[in-house]
Structure 1
Amino acid sequence: MANLNDSKILELKKQIEEKKKSVGKSKKFSPVTNCSIELDGVRINIQTLTKEHIIALLIRLNSYAASAKELSLLEQYVISGYGINDWIDDLKSKLDFINRKDEEHKLKIMEAKLDKLLSEDKKVELELDEISKMLNT
Protein backbone atom coordinates (compact mmCIF):
# COMPACT_ATOMS: atom_id res chain seq x y z
CA MET A 1 0.00 0.00 0.00
CA ALA A 2 2.83 2.38 0.87
CA ASN A 3 4.36 1.79 -2.57
CA LEU A 4 1.15 2.78 -4.32
CA ASN A 5 0.85 5.94 -2.21
CA ASP A 6 4.51 6.77 -2.70
CA SER A 7 4.19 6.50 -6.47
CA LYS A 8 1.11 8.75 -6.40
CA ILE A 9 2.95 11.25 -4.22
CA LEU A 10 5.98 11.26 -6.52
CA GLU A 11 3.72 11.76 -9.54
CA LEU A 12 2.02 14.70 -7.85
CA LYS A 13 5.43 16.15 -6.97
CA LYS A 14 6.38 15.95 -10.66
CA GLN A 15 3.19 17.82 -11.56
CA ILE A 16 4.05 20.50 -8.99
CA GLU A 17 7.54 20.83 -10.48
CA GLU A 18 6.03 21.31 -13.94
CA LYS A 19 3.68 23.98 -12.59
CA LYS A 20 6.63 25.71 -10.89
CA LYS A 21 8.43 25.84 -14.22
CA SER A 22 5.38 27.27 -15.96
CA VAL A 23 4.96 29.92 -13.26
CA GLY A 24 8.67 30.64 -13.49
CA LYS A 25 10.59 32.65 -11.02
CA SER A 26 8.65 35.72 -10.04
CA LYS A 27 9.94 38.51 -12.15
CA LYS A 28 10.79 41.61 -10.25
CA PHE A 29 8.14 44.33 -10.31
CA SER A 30 9.73 47.18 -12.28
CA PRO A 31 7.34 50.12 -12.33
CA VAL A 32 7.38 52.98 -14.82
CA THR A 33 5.75 55.35 -12.32
CA ASN A 34 6.96 56.33 -8.87
CA CYS A 35 4.16 54.12 -7.41
CA SER A 36 2.63 57.03 -5.49
CA ILE A 37 -0.65 58.15 -7.05
CA GLU A 38 -2.98 60.82 -5.71
CA LEU A 39 -6.70 60.46 -6.40
CA ASP A 40 -9.35 62.70 -4.87
CA GLY A 41 -6.81 64.15 -2.43
CA VAL A 42 -5.71 60.73 -1.18
CA ARG A 43 -2.15 59.55 -1.81
CA ILE A 44 -1.88 55.82 -2.56
CA ASN A 45 1.33 53.78 -2.67
CA ILE A 46 0.68 50.95 -5.10
CA GLN A 47 3.55 48.93 -3.60
CA THR A 48 1.53 48.45 -0.42
CA LEU A 49 -1.85 47.60 -1.94
CA THR A 50 -3.54 44.25 -1.56
CA LYS A 51 -4.70 42.31 -4.60
CA GLU A 52 -8.29 43.45 -4.02
CA HIS A 53 -7.25 47.12 -3.80
CA ILE A 54 -5.17 46.84 -6.96
CA ILE A 55 -8.13 45.40 -8.85
CA ALA A 56 -10.46 48.14 -7.57
CA LEU A 57 -7.95 50.84 -8.51
CA LEU A 58 -7.42 49.29 -11.95
CA ILE A 59 -11.14 49.34 -12.62
CA ARG A 60 -11.38 52.94 -11.44
CA LEU A 61 -8.45 54.11 -13.57
CA ASN A 62 -9.73 52.17 -16.57
CA SER A 63 -13.06 54.01 -16.35
CA TYR A 64 -11.14 57.32 -16.21
CA ALA A 65 -9.10 56.24 -19.23
CA ALA A 66 -12.23 55.27 -21.18
CA SER A 67 -13.76 58.69 -20.45
CA ALA A 68 -10.55 60.48 -21.39
CA LYS A 69 -10.38 58.51 -24.64
CA GLU A 70 -13.99 59.32 -25.46
CA LEU A 71 -13.20 63.00 -24.89
CA SER A 72 -10.01 62.74 -27.00
CA LEU A 73 -7.95 63.68 -23.94
CA LEU A 74 -6.22 60.36 -23.23
CA GLU A 75 -2.75 61.56 -24.25
CA GLN A 76 -3.12 64.72 -22.17
CA TYR A 77 -4.57 63.07 -19.06
CA VAL A 78 -1.85 62.99 -16.41
CA ILE A 79 -2.21 61.82 -12.81
CA SER A 80 0.57 62.53 -10.30
CA GLY A 81 3.00 63.26 -13.13
CA TYR A 82 2.36 60.13 -15.22
CA GLY A 83 -0.02 59.20 -18.00
CA ILE A 84 -2.99 57.11 -16.98
CA ASN A 85 -1.83 54.20 -19.16
CA ASP A 86 1.46 54.13 -17.24
CA TRP A 87 -0.50 53.74 -14.00
CA ILE A 88 -2.69 51.04 -15.50
CA ASP A 89 0.34 49.14 -16.84
CA ASP A 90 2.09 49.35 -13.45
CA LEU A 91 -0.99 48.11 -11.63
CA LYS A 92 -1.39 45.21 -14.07
CA SER A 93 2.27 44.36 -13.61
CA LYS A 94 1.96 44.50 -9.82
CA LEU A 95 -1.15 42.30 -9.94
CA ASP A 96 0.66 39.78 -12.15
CA PHE A 97 3.60 39.78 -9.70
CA ILE A 98 1.27 39.13 -6.75
CA ASN A 99 -0.55 36.34 -8.62
CA ARG A 100 2.75 34.60 -9.44
CA LYS A 101 3.91 34.91 -5.81
CA ASP A 102 0.60 33.47 -4.60
CA GLU A 103 0.87 30.53 -7.01
CA GLU A 104 4.47 29.84 -5.95
CA HIS A 105 3.41 29.89 -2.31
CA LYS A 106 0.54 27.44 -2.93
CA LEU A 107 2.87 25.08 -4.80
CA LYS A 108 5.42 25.15 -1.94
CA ILE A 109 2.70 24.30 0.57
CA MET A 110 1.46 21.39 -1.55
CA GLU A 111 5.00 20.12 -2.01
CA ALA A 112 5.67 20.24 1.73
CA LYS A 113 2.46 18.31 2.42
CA LEU A 114 3.44 15.66 -0.11
CA ASP A 115 6.92 15.35 1.43
CA LYS A 116 5.33 14.63 4.80
CA LEU A 117 3.17 11.89 3.26
CA LEU A 118 6.05 9.90 1.80
CA SER A 119 6.83 6.68 3.62
CA GLU A 120 10.05 6.56 5.62
CA ASP A 121 11.45 3.89 3.28
CA LYS A 122 10.85 6.10 0.26
CA LYS A 123 12.39 9.14 1.99
CA VAL A 124 15.52 7.11 2.75
CA GLU A 125 15.63 5.82 -0.84
CA LEU A 126 15.37 9.36 -2.25
CA GLU A 127 18.06 10.66 0.11
CA LEU A 128 20.38 7.81 -0.88
CA ASP A 129 19.75 8.54 -4.58
CA GLU A 130 20.56 12.20 -4.02
CA ILE A 131 23.80 11.40 -2.19
CA SER A 132 24.75 8.97 -4.92
CA LYS A 133 24.19 11.63 -7.60
CA MET A 134 26.33 14.09 -5.61
CA LEU A 135 29.16 11.58 -5.36
CA ASN A 136 29.06 10.84 -9.08
CA THR A 137 29.31 14.45 -10.19
Structure 2
Amino acid sequence: MPLPAELRHTTREEVMFFDTDIGGVVHNLAYLRMIETCRTKLAGLMGMDLRGMADSKLYPVVVRTEIDYKRPATLGDALLIHGRLDELQRARFWCAFEVRRESDDALLITCRQCLALVQMPEGRPVRLPAEWL
Protein backbone atom coordinates (compact mmCIF):
# COMPACT_ATOMS: atom_id res chain seq x y z
CA MET A 1 0.00 0.00 0.00
CA PRO A 2 1.36 3.46 -0.88
CA LEU A 3 2.16 5.64 2.12
CA PRO A 4 0.54 9.03 2.62
CA ALA A 5 2.87 11.96 1.91
CA GLU A 6 2.78 12.95 5.57
CA LEU A 7 2.44 10.14 8.07
CA ARG A 8 1.98 11.19 11.72
CA HIS A 9 0.59 9.81 14.96
CA THR A 10 0.30 11.12 18.53
CA THR A 11 -0.09 9.08 21.69
CA ARG A 12 -0.73 10.29 25.24
CA GLU A 13 0.91 8.88 28.37
CA GLU A 14 0.59 9.74 32.04
CA VAL A 15 3.81 9.42 34.03
CA MET A 16 3.34 6.61 36.55
CA PHE A 17 5.44 5.54 39.54
CA PHE A 18 7.12 2.80 37.49
CA ASP A 19 8.27 5.44 34.95
CA THR A 20 10.30 7.37 37.52
CA ASP A 21 13.47 7.07 39.53
CA ILE A 22 13.80 7.71 43.27
CA GLY A 23 13.67 11.48 42.61
CA GLY A 24 10.34 11.27 40.77
CA VAL A 25 11.94 12.03 37.38
CA VAL A 26 11.15 9.92 34.31
CA HIS A 27 14.01 7.58 33.45
CA ASN A 28 15.30 6.94 29.94
CA LEU A 29 13.77 3.47 29.56
CA ALA A 30 10.31 4.87 30.24
CA TYR A 31 10.72 7.40 27.44
CA LEU A 32 11.78 4.62 25.08
CA ARG A 33 8.71 2.56 26.06
CA MET A 34 6.48 5.56 25.32
CA ILE A 35 8.19 6.11 21.97
CA GLU A 36 7.77 2.38 21.23
CA THR A 37 4.01 2.70 21.75
CA CYS A 38 3.78 5.67 19.40
CA ARG A 39 6.01 3.95 16.82
CA THR A 40 3.87 0.79 16.94
CA LYS A 41 0.73 2.85 16.21
CA LEU A 42 2.59 4.66 13.43
CA ALA A 43 3.58 1.28 11.94
CA GLY A 44 -0.11 0.36 11.87
CA LEU A 45 -0.74 3.41 9.66
CA MET A 46 2.03 2.11 7.39
CA GLY A 47 0.19 -1.20 6.95
CA MET A 48 2.09 -3.05 9.66
CA ASP A 49 -0.51 -3.61 12.37
CA LEU A 50 0.35 -6.05 15.15
CA ARG A 51 -1.79 -8.92 13.87
CA GLY A 52 -0.52 -8.44 10.32
CA MET A 53 3.09 -8.54 11.51
CA ALA A 54 2.43 -11.70 13.50
CA ASP A 55 0.83 -13.35 10.45
CA SER A 56 3.47 -12.29 7.91
CA LYS A 57 6.42 -12.60 10.33
CA LEU A 58 7.74 -9.33 8.84
CA TYR A 59 8.73 -6.86 11.56
CA PRO A 60 10.15 -3.34 11.69
CA VAL A 61 13.28 -3.64 13.85
CA VAL A 62 15.07 -0.69 15.44
CA VAL A 63 18.71 -0.56 14.34
CA ARG A 64 19.59 2.89 15.70
CA THR A 65 18.17 5.34 18.23
CA GLU A 66 19.30 8.95 18.61
CA ILE A 67 17.74 10.74 21.58
CA ASP A 68 18.25 14.16 23.14
CA TYR A 69 16.94 14.87 26.63
CA LYS A 70 15.92 18.53 26.88
CA ARG A 71 13.90 18.74 30.10
CA PRO A 72 12.67 16.18 32.64
CA ALA A 73 9.12 14.93 33.04
CA THR A 74 7.95 14.08 36.54
CA LEU A 75 5.39 11.92 38.29
CA GLY A 76 1.85 12.72 37.17
CA ASP A 77 2.78 14.69 34.05
CA ALA A 78 0.63 14.06 30.99
CA LEU A 79 2.88 13.62 27.95
CA LEU A 80 2.14 13.78 24.25
CA ILE A 81 4.38 11.70 22.03
CA HIS A 82 4.32 12.97 18.45
CA GLY A 83 5.72 10.55 15.87
CA ARG A 84 6.18 10.87 12.15
CA LEU A 85 7.73 9.03 9.26
CA ASP A 86 10.86 11.07 8.56
CA GLU A 87 12.79 9.39 5.75
CA LEU A 88 12.58 6.36 3.45
CA GLN A 89 15.64 4.62 2.03
CA ARG A 90 15.89 1.38 0.03
CA ALA A 91 16.30 -0.96 2.97
CA ARG A 92 15.50 1.18 6.01
CA PHE A 93 13.39 4.04 7.20
CA TRP A 94 13.59 6.72 9.89
CA CYS A 95 10.92 7.88 12.31
CA ALA A 96 11.18 11.09 14.34
CA PHE A 97 9.57 11.76 17.71
CA GLU A 98 8.97 14.62 20.10
CA VAL A 99 7.82 14.18 23.67
CA ARG A 100 6.02 17.23 25.05
CA ARG A 101 4.39 17.94 28.38
CA GLU A 102 0.69 18.50 27.71
CA SER A 103 0.17 21.24 30.32
CA ASP A 104 2.70 23.74 28.93
CA ASP A 105 3.79 22.18 25.58
CA ALA A 106 7.39 22.06 26.84
CA LEU A 107 9.68 20.02 24.60
CA LEU A 108 11.20 17.26 26.73
CA ILE A 109 12.69 14.80 24.25
CA THR A 110 13.62 14.65 20.58
CA CYS A 111 14.35 11.26 19.07
CA ARG A 112 15.07 9.65 15.71
CA GLN A 113 15.01 5.93 15.11
CA CYS A 114 16.25 4.00 12.11
CA LEU A 115 14.36 0.78 11.34
CA ALA A 116 14.77 -2.10 8.93
CA LEU A 117 12.20 -4.69 7.90
CA VAL A 118 13.25 -8.15 9.04
CA GLN A 119 11.68 -11.43 7.92
CA MET A 120 11.45 -13.91 10.77
CA PRO A 121 12.30 -16.59 11.76
CA GLU A 122 15.27 -16.27 9.40
CA GLY A 123 16.20 -12.82 10.74
CA ARG A 124 16.77 -11.71 7.15
CA PRO A 125 16.53 -7.98 6.30
CA VAL A 126 14.29 -7.21 3.32
CA ARG A 127 13.96 -4.15 1.10
CA LEU A 128 11.16 -1.72 1.77
CA PRO A 129 8.06 -2.32 -0.37
CA ALA A 130 8.39 -0.63 -3.76
CA GLU A 131 5.07 1.14 -3.27
CA TRP A 132 6.47 2.90 -0.20
CA LEU A 133 9.24 4.48 -2.24
Structure-2-length-normalised TM-score: 0.23
Q: Which has the higher contact order (CA 8 A, sep 6+)?
A: 1
- Which has a greater percent of strand? 2
Structure-1-length-normalised TM-score: 0.23
- Which has a greater percent of helix? 1
